[in-house]
Chain A
């Protein structure tokens, strides 16, 4: 059995490096389209200010992009270094979208980003705009393939287990590609990236306006950010709801946990606006409930029930008992593949194999599992409720806060008086961190909510790791924390410095703050 400490440290390292990576990704995703909008305005109107906007916001985009690339390499290699059994067990399906991401998207993005920065004097206006568009397309396609891979972890469609190769194998590529989970996740995640890009431009432009600097430049940037941001936040909220109700058991478990729904209520179920979940007794000590809302959001109907935690647990108990038989049969079959009787038994229970593997956390020979072990495994199938309940609500709250801000920003952009509304400018400035917080909370809900699985129903997290020493994990964790802290300090220093200096940093002679290239 793998030590729990090894599993926990592997998870911690993945969580830290993934959440750190995602500090840079959403801004990149959003900024690419904002740069396309600004440069299109330049090509259409021929006004130099739009070119300067593209170049200045592009400069800040570049500072962010460098760390996105740096931390992205970690993600590509960490499956192999720290999740070796996972890589073997599902590489046949999971590896493909990662490789396709490289071939179809990341090459495109990375090749054209070079020309975006260095091609201004060597390309015609239209050629350069095409380069910027291809860079944006590459970035967004990149997100698509990564989310197809992640979507499959939540809802593993199009694959079957093979006892000869001892792994999951792809049987239907199109099912993996058009996994409804992946599609919903893609739209929700890239929209969140667009919001992040819009907030970034909105906030920094508001800063210049509050200082009364580079006013024309800041006003034009603010307007673009307000319109783009408002559209995007609407998409995040409407399509975020979409990702909540998609079918699949993983999402049902996650939904029940993040809504603290212990019982299966008669349809349509009520929505717990606020609750104090009590894990031990499986009830809410206190709850403010809005009747009907959960049922309508969750099922888009008035008569379909949403299963509560207790009901899901009982279903999972049956699957664990069936999976226990599958694991036992598989182990026999590995020793004697010709045994037809065992094979028939295995095939009858293979659908619950993953649930049987949950017992491996407690006992090597799962046929020897005691009733207490089975109880523990059943309890494991539901992620902890309180962290999910609260992070989800915080994320949604931030979403509506941003809707209000972008709504106000857009309204006063249309009226043309935003530069004289210090409260709006200050709110825009102070809300700068909110999209990043929301993105991180969203990923926490998605990934913590999938526990105890790496692949829902197929492979438990505790079986997915590499057989490394705990000492190695402490060492690498320390290395990552050290490097990432240093990189963040350097990045923030440059970002703040150039954001403060503003378009003067382009050295064109047209803006405030044109001090020498320091």
Chain B
């Protein structure tokens, strides 16, 4: 079955959201574990316990990131081209931070030398903490508009600097994102550990959960009071062939909250962020850690959903040439490509979820000091 173009454009906005949420839930929890690693593991055995909670899974989880990139390339080529080249140094920082993960996980425990192992532990920290921080900062900049424009042949030009990305609001969004991912990782880690590691992780969980609630609220108030949004004022034809230069855009105070008036159901998204976070904290303290993981996953849906719903229909507004701003209507691939990619996703996503679930089931249970001792040569 083939969908019409306007429907496809909307579906792909949702699907990119699903992939981002999937990335944050799956790769996010092992990044959170990486961030917590140097702090909740006090000796080598404890650190190996922490690492081995995600040892069999980090690689599969990382594919959410890679597939997310590929899907944006295929479905929103203009966004992929403009964002990745515009945020050049930020993307490289993410990339280089990620370098530490595969080698950190696989190489760390192959040599029994404290300096070697501690170096990789900090590498895993960098690989866990830097990407969510930068993604948050990037989202913070989307809300303020990004300084780019297109030439007439649609060649994108970015005219800002890397340092301008690190403005206060964007850094606050970076805190939201890092707190969210670390909180989620802490809940996963509590589920897979016991004893001293679990106790220390609980403290971290409470700290990052509270930080998430505070920073998310602060960013919301700032967005409402202090950031001008963008709005399309020309008529939009969702069925038109995508051409980002063919529209008129204005800057408008309060525009980022307009969707909540227009579609009140979207208010459920920020509500879910609060409810999910609070529920996850409560459940985790009471050792219902699996339910807590579900709750913190829902909190992630809430936080990312809130960002997406506020921006809609924009994906990447431009601050210097307003009409160049990219939206869900005019940055997309052709109808054929969107259709093909939709069917591929609908076929493979359930399979991926099924076999990933099986892999977690096979490896389920607490990772203990005894496990590390018995598998000294094989475990991470």
Contacts and interface: CB of A to CB of B under 8 A. Distances in A.
Interface string B329-363: 00001101100110011001100100110010011
A359 to B, nearest CB: 14
A76 B243 contact: no
B329 to A, nearest CB: 12
A423 interface: no
Contact of B81 (A62, A74, A85, A170): A85
Contact of B91 (A77, A108, A166, A331): A77
Interface stretch (A88-96, A243-251, A286-294, A312-320): A88-96
B56 A119 contact: yes
Contact of A110 (B63, B243, B349): B63
Contacts of B96: 479, 483
- Identify whether the interface residues of B are mostly helix, strand, loop, or mixed: helix
- Identify whether the interface residues of A are mostly helix, strand, loop, or mixed: helix
Contact of B55 (A95, A112, A118, A491): A118
A43 B344 CA distance: 34
Contacts of A80: 69, 73, 80-81, 83-85, 91
A84 B85 contact: yes
A40 interface: no
B60 A114 contact: yes
A92 B334 contact: yes
B105 A81 contact: no
A95 B75 contact: yes
Interface string A95-110: 1101111111011101
Nearest to A64: B106
A467 interface: yes
A165 interface: yes
A517 B102 contact: no
A400 interface: no
Nearest to A121: B375
Contacts of B69: 76-77, 80
Contact of B337 (A93, A122, A506): A93
B233 interface: no
Interface string B77-90: 11011111100110
A85 B74 contact: no
Contacts of A91: 73-74, 77-78, 80-81, 333
B103 interface: yes
Contacts of A94: 73
B71 A111 contact: no
B154 A167 contact: yes
A104 B348 contact: yes
Interface in B72-127: 73-75, 77-78, 80-85, 88-89, 91-92, 95-96, 98-99, 101-103, 105-107, 110-112
B78 A88 contact: yes
B59 interface: yes
Contacts of B203: none
A106 B106 contact: no
Given A74-B95, A84-B85, A334-B152, A99 B56 contact: no
B66 A167 contact: no
Given A82-B85, A117-B378, A490 B336 contact: no
A275 interface: no
B323 interface: no
B131 to A, nearest CB: 11
Contact of B59 (A103, A113, A490): A113
B243 A164 contact: yes
Nearest to B109: A517
B262 interface: no
B110 A494 contact: yes
A92 B344 contact: no
B188 to A, nearest CB: 15
A82 to B, nearest CB: 7
A487 B103 contact: yes
A118 B81 contact: no
B153 interface: yes
Interface residues of A, number: 80
A73 B66 contact: yes
Contacts of A335: 152
Contact of A467 (B85, B334, B348): B85
B340 A77 contact: no
Interface residues of B, number: 72
B377 A107 contact: no
A169 interface: yes
A164 B56 CA distance: 48
A107 B65 CA distance: 11
Interface stretch (B155-163, B167-175, B247-255): B155-163
A46 interface: no
A171 interface: yes
B242 interface: yes
- Residue from B59, B62, B89, B376 with most neighbouring chain A CB atoms (10 Å): B59
B102 A67 contact: yes
B70 interface: yes
A153 B220 CA distance: 45
A472 B88 CA distance: 8
A334 B71 CA distance: 29
Given A85-B155, A103-B348, A110-B63, A96 B74 contact: yes
Interface string B28-72: 000000000000000000000000000111111011011101110
A99 B102 contact: no
Contacts of B103: 66-67, 70, 487, 490-491
Contacts of B74: 91-92, 95-96, 98-99
A491 B110 CA distance: 11
Contact of A103 (B84, B349, B362): B349
A66 B89 contact: no
Contact of B60 (A98, A111, A165): A111
- Residue from A94, A111, A169 with most neighbouring chain B CB atoms (10 Å): A111
B60 A92 contact: no
B344 A108 contact: no
A173 interface: yes
A401 interface: no
The 10 closest A-B pairs by CB, nearest first: A91-B77, A80-B84, A102-B67, A95-B74, A114-B56, A111-B60, A95-B73, A99-B70, A466-B85, A84-B85
Interface of A: 55, 62-63, 65-67, 69-70, 72-74, 76-77, 79-82, 84-88, 91-96, 98-104, 106-108, 110-115, 117-120, 122-123, 162, 164-167, 169-171, 173, 331, 334-335, 466-468, 472, 475-476, 479, 483, 487, 490-491, 494, 498, 505-507, 517-518
14 contacts: A70-B103, A72-B66, A77-B84, A82-B85, A92-B333, A98-B74, A99-B75, A110-B62, A112-B355, A466-B156, A479-B96, A490-B107, A505-B377, A518-B111
Given A82-B85, A95-B80, A108-B355, 17 more contacts: A55-B378, A66-B106, A80-B73, A81-B91, A84-B84, A84-B85, A87-B84, A96-B337, A99-B74, A107-B63, A111-B57, A119-B56, A119-B363, A162-B241, A476-B92, A490-B107, A518-B111
